[in-house]
Amino acid sequence: MHIKKIYYIGLLIFCLTQSFLNAASWRVLFYMDSSDNLSDMAFKSITEMMDAQLDHTVECFIQLHAYHNIALRYKIKNNNLQFLERISLSGDSKQDFINAATWGFNNNNADHTMLILSNHGWGILDPRWNEAAQKWVIDHDVTANCCAIKRSRLMDHQHNHRGFMFNEGSHTYLTNSNLVAGLYHIKNQLLHSNIDIVAFDTCMGAMMEVGYQIAPFANFMVGCQSCALKDGFDYTGIMQSLKNEFNDPRTVAIGMVKAFDAYYNVHDDKGIYTNSVFDLSLIHEVCTAMDITITSLLNIPNALEILENARNHTPRLCMWPMYTDMIEFFLLCQKHMPNNTEFNAALFQLQDLHNRMIIAYCCGFDVKNFVHGSAIYCPFIHIEKSYHDTIFAQSCQWMNVLRLICEGCTQSCNMQEWSVGNN
């Protein structure tokens, strides 16, 4: 009996040891700007990280843009929060991002890496600060060049424009080009490999355009294709995923979505939340399939009518009237056209690849019937100048869809205004 007890104790110790040895190590850089009314969420997020009882396999480096031009740097390891230093930001968003990454990822010996950007986010468009109006604007309002009927309808959707990592004090943010430049530096100068997970703890991170431009530098992308609560991510759940025995990047990313779903299912009473994981190794295949789908669509004689119907009925995600769900848009095109074998085959292939790329996603009850895990830019009237400069717009056929829709809408509006003026 005594020998049997020793045997079982030894077996238990062996199993626990193997479990410990199987767990991979992680280096996480949490890059947050709390200057724009998010200081309460900074406390919440950092406290949740500490509460997770992290062991030595997970290191969290935190750079918090806290007040004025001051950033505070912390480190969490072995369940301890250590204040490291106070630095001054340069006001150059790209250089500040690179400096933070150099600090956070320097001398990295962990098996895997994660970068979390936490603040406000405005997706793929790059706004500018209007000093006179004291707000962020784009070159043309979404109601520009719009007939009176549409203008009155769209005015309900106006709001301030912000980019990723918006800093209220310096009126700077991380533009899409600066984000790409920073990720290029991390991969080629610091890690010499892709970041395993880039996560946007912001609104509008899970866009096709955003995933396309960061794919050369990251393996997985986690984000929302719509609005997020001010709370952002549930870091209790995220840290638990990092601590699990099976904590490879794919499993951790899926765990992040599960944690998001569990938290938002309780706290989002409007049911409008979304969260998804992109396997970025597949995004170019998805975009190629999208291009084939678009080409077959544009060959249909009444393509403009089909596109306008899809544009008019496509779901607008939360407070973002210029963004929609990519797959849902093409499903609406299919709904508003006669049966077309070529288009149907192309769309089937696109959906199949997209389903493989989105390895996990969740959504609230109000949006569950029309979201599939990725958003895409789809304006009513005018294509914002900054969108023309994006890598996605310059590389993919989606711009041909937008040009056709916007040119058709402008002609339609001009006809309506002429008719009203002559009555």
pTM for the structure as a whole: 0.88
Q: Are 334 and 287 in contact (CB under 8 A)?
A: no
pLDDT at 64: 94
pLDDT at 171: 78
pLDDT at 413: 47
SS3 of the chain: CHHHHHHHHHHHHHHHHHHHHHCCCEEEEEEEECCCCCHHHHHHHHHHHHHCCCCCCEEEEEEEEEECCEEEEEEEECCEEEEEEEEECCCCHHHHHHHHHHHHHCCCCCCEEEEEEECCCCCCCCCEEECCCCEEECCCCCCCCCCHHHHHHHHHHCCCCCCEEEECCCCEEECHHHHHHHHHHHHHHHHCCCEEEEEEECCCCCEHHHHHHHHHHEEEEEECCCCCCCCCCCHHHHHHHHHCCCCCHHHHHHHHHHHHHHHHHHHCCCCCCEEEEEEHHHHHHHHHHHHHHHHHHHCCCCHHHHHHHHHHHCCCCCCCCCEEEHHHHHHHHHHCCCCCHHHHHHHHHHHHHHHHHEEEEEECCCCCCCCCCCEEECCCCCCCHHHHCCHHHHHCCHHHHHHHHHHHHHHHHHHHHHHHHCC
Q: Which two tokens stand for residue 1?
A: 């009996």
In tens, the pLDDT along 194-203 reads: 999 999 999 8
In tens, the pLDDT along 302-345 reads: 999 999 999 999 988 775 678 999 999 999 999 999 899 999 99
Rounded CA-CA distance 34/259 in Å is 23
* Of 114, 119, 102, residue with least CA distance to 65: 119
* Of 6, 112, 2, residue with least CA distance to 59: 112
- Residues in CB range of 421: below 8 A, 6 or more apart: none
pLDDT at residue 16 above 60?
Answer: no
Q: Which two tokens stand for residue 52?
A: 């997770």
Rounded CA-CA distance 348/303 in Å is 19
The structural domains of the chain, ordered by start, are 24-127+158-281 (3.40.50.11970), 285-359+376-421 (no CATH)
pLDDT tier at 153, thresholds 50, 70, 90: very low
In tens, the pLDDT along 357-403 reads: 999 999 999 999 999 999 999 988 889 888 999 999 999 999 999 99
Q: Which of 219-228, 241-250, 347-356 has the highest mean pLDDT?
A: 347-356
Cβ count within 10 A of residue 300:
17
CA 314 to chain centre: 20
In tens, the pLDDT along 42-95 reads: 899 999 998 888 888 899 999 999 888 899 999 998 778 999 999 999 989 999
